[in-house]
Structure 1
Amino acid sequence: MDSARSDSFMALKILVAGGFGVGKTTLVGSVSEIRPLSTEERLTEAGRPVDSLDGIQHKTTTTVAMDFGRITIHHDLALYLFGTPGQDRFWFLWDELAQGALGAVVLADTRRLADSFAAVDYFEHRGVPFVVAVNCFEGARSHRAEDVAGALDLDPGTPVVLCDARERESCKEVLIRLVEHAASSYEARLDANAPSS
């Protein structure tokens, strides 16, 4: 790395969160320019009473700690992606993963939108900027972004974007929208705290 790059290069931490089976591991894997780290384990009979597979019967694995990937957005900006586990029993990891994060992507599946409420609440209560990315699954009914925002009762100004977690360019657009939203949220907080003249 040359000295010009090292002086201005910035790495930002981003969380990819959401309910069980919404496509978090897929998104991190699709967009990462490095081989992603994944802590996927096979679902077992022991987990059947606590992991509902309604609407995702084909799912055979689950993230038990985190996913990790990296993408360079610009020559001087890289995003480090941390995918969170979706099941409630792994939520104790979220506080550790969230430390130092610029913002979060809450991935949502409109077939199971209620699974997104916990992640939305988590980031709203902690003041972490986030965008909701609706993963447009094949065969799922399409919804307008504003309808999803209303159904999730999002705070005004919280972006909702449509994406395909399998498509790299689609995921990149989500991440760029998050960085823009986090930057504008940060500027708004600075303006609100600036002393009045």
Structure 2
Amino acid sequence: MTIRITLISPALNRSLREARFDEGSPLDPRGRACAESAAGSLGAADRVLVSPTARCRETASALGLAAVPEPELAGLDMGRWRGLTLDEVMAREPDAVLSWLSDRDAAPHGGESVGALCERAAGWLEETATFGGRTLAVVEQELVRALAVTILGAPGPAFWRLDVPPLTATDLSGQSGRWNLRLGRELGAEGR
């Protein structure tokens, strides 16, 4: 049986607009309006999950989804860097930033490493593959990247080379541990 998973990236909020490590800010009015305009474009799902972050929960709500929070779908824990831009952190801790960007197992911010995020995402995918039916999940962009790197067996640096725009769908389909990946489909753009 083919497993189908659709990952939806959240709408814009202050953190995304300002390229900040998310500090839990809500959707901004424009992000909410964009999500509301895409409501009804996702089709039926057998289960709907959501990351516990504010912007993912609010995106799911604006899309009209009755989603169940799933702790395993949380975004990357950025520790003491939460709320800061990469430039701000680079000015304060340049060696720590370079370590974080070059070593997937580094977590100089006191949070979670990219490697740990990828392992968590892989575990969630393995568990989800046992669920029959279509899963829809509203998740942070870095979780989409972690799953893409995992599915493709790509080297660690590939994580930094994937761009996941807001309010896009990434479709995973597969069986027996073999996955196909379709990245960055705009919501409501199934026929394009």
For CA contacts below 8 A with separation 6 or more, give which structure has more relative contact order.
Answer: 2
| TM-score normalised by the chain length of structure 1 | 0.28
The structure having more radius of gyration, on CA atoms, is: 1
Higher strand residue share: 1
| TM-score normalised by the chain length of structure 2 | 0.28
